[in-house]
Chain A
Amino acid sequence: MARPGCSADYSGVVIQARGLEKRYGDKRVLRGIDFELARDAFLLVTGPNGSGKTTLLRLCAGLAAPTAGELEVRTERGRIGFVGHEPLVYRELTALENLELYGRLYRVAECRERIGMLLERFGLWDVRHERTSSYSRGMLQRLALCRALLHEPELLVLDEPYSGLDDDGTALLDRELEELRPRRTFVVATHEPTRVERFASSRLALA
């Protein structure tokens, strides 16, 4: 049972799962999951609600450890970008302050420029000085995406990244994914696979 490794593996496999199992008390959420994710591949995880997609993605991001089986994520913690169900931003801080905080924690070089660039790309530049408590669901999701991309992660773990986005936001995310697709490794969970099918190099369907 391994944790995200310390050195980046530039050759082959980024994530390797063998007989992966996750139990929460009596409930077995994941059972017997096997897959291998190569560098620059795109794993599309599908399944109905409650099938364990979120749990699997949290395991890949390093937020939880497996109860049984093996999970090896050969990317260090600071090179993983995660978008979950929550935007993971402080409500009483502005978008700018939130990203500055994460920028410092992730030791992002040229932090200010990068933040500015991301906020602009996701259409949040004009509201950067407003506290996120005043943001709509779609704006929070866009900010979460900025947060996940801030440190130029090698591995992107995205749990329902399109949820809450309006048409503009969806178009922005499409554009981002297209640009990043060749140069990054992805694990994306969604219960609407049609949007991202074209990116996927492999699929994992959870029951």
Chain B
Amino acid sequence: MSTSLRNNRLPALTGLAFVLVVTAIALVFFYAPLDEDGLNQKIFYFHVAIALTAYACFGWGGWKALRVLWKRDERADLESYVAIHQGVIFGALTLVTGSIWARYRWGHWWEWHEDQLVLFLVLFLFYAAYFMLRFSVPPGPRRTNLSAVYALFGVALIPVSILAIRLSQRFIHPVAFDRGGPNMAASQFFTFCVSWAAMLVLAAALYNVELAGKRIDVRLKELREALR
């Protein structure tokens, strides 16, 4: 029986997340040197960190999906679902922060030549369909299996889409855009790392909170059934 309620990890994790996020914000606004982009560049620290965290969530969801199919571990189904749910939340945040950044850099709320943005749009569509799939199949082993297979497709789709989008830019935007990639100074890199750590721990905390909540739901339903 899950003792996640009594698990001391959860409050510690949440506390750590809070500390890291506050630290990251402080570092971003007070420590990291200004770049030629100005204030707008600050959002990049969060945007990239959130994006990487979204990948991590989808990857974790895929790993749990593999356990569902391979080890027939039914508990992993819920874990996979929650991980993907977190991934979609962070993915949406990636799109939002990316959009804000694009607005201040180029003047539009959307830029098709930003590979990262396009990728997350595609992934968002893919994982939104994951939820449609889950909601339209009644709960049970069939839904567990289908969700797991689809989550694994997602893991394969990420690198394929990255490649596809890059290839597509060649005929959509033949003019090479100056990416102005991260040639970061040490202080910027440090800030970025803290920011990334903050996002990962935040995701982990949210994941565990949601998982604990869903497990309680499941347990309640089981108890209700048993009393019938």
A binding-site residues for B, Cβ under 8 Å? 1, 23-28, 64-65, 67
Contact = CB atoms under 8 A, between A and B. Distances in A.
A24 B139 contact: yes
Interface string B114-153: 0000000000000000000000001111010000000000
B140 A25 contact: yes
Given A1-B72, A67-B74, A26 B141 contact: no
B178 interface: no
Contacts of B143: 25
B108 interface: no
A25 B74 contact: no
A65 B221 contact: no
Contacts of B221: 26
B37 interface: no
B139 A26 contact: yes
Interface of A is mostly: loop
Nearest to A25: B139
A23 B225 CA distance: 11
Contact of A27 (B72, B74, B141, B225): B225
Interface string B160-182: 00000000000000000000000
Contacts of B74: 67
Interface string B207-228: 0000000000000011001000
Interface of B: 72, 74, 138-141, 143, 221-222, 225
A25, A27, A28 — most chain B CB neighbours (10 Å): A25
Contacts of A27: 225
10 contacts: A1-B72, A23-B140, A24-B138, A24-B140, A25-B139, A26-B221, A26-B225, A28-B225, A64-B141, A67-B74
Q: Which 8 pairs show the lowest CB-CB distances between chains A and B?
A: A25-B139, A24-B140, A26-B221, A25-B140, A28-B225, A25-B138, A26-B225, A65-B141
Nearest to B139: A25
A64 B145 CA distance: 12
A19 to B, nearest CB: 15
Contacts of A23: 140
Contacts of A28: 225
Given A65-B72, A65-B141, 12 more contacts: A1-B72, A24-B138, A24-B139, A24-B140, A24-B141, A25-B143, A26-B222, A26-B225, A27-B225, A28-B225, A64-B141, A67-B141
Nearest to B145: A65
B220 to A, nearest CB: 10
Contacts of B139: 24-26
A28 B222 CA distance: 9
B83 to A, nearest CB: 20
Contacts of A1: 72
A153 B206 CA distance: 53
A27 B222 CA distance: 9
A23 B139 CA distance: 10
Q: Most A CB atoms within 10 A — which of B72, B139, B141, B225?
A: B141
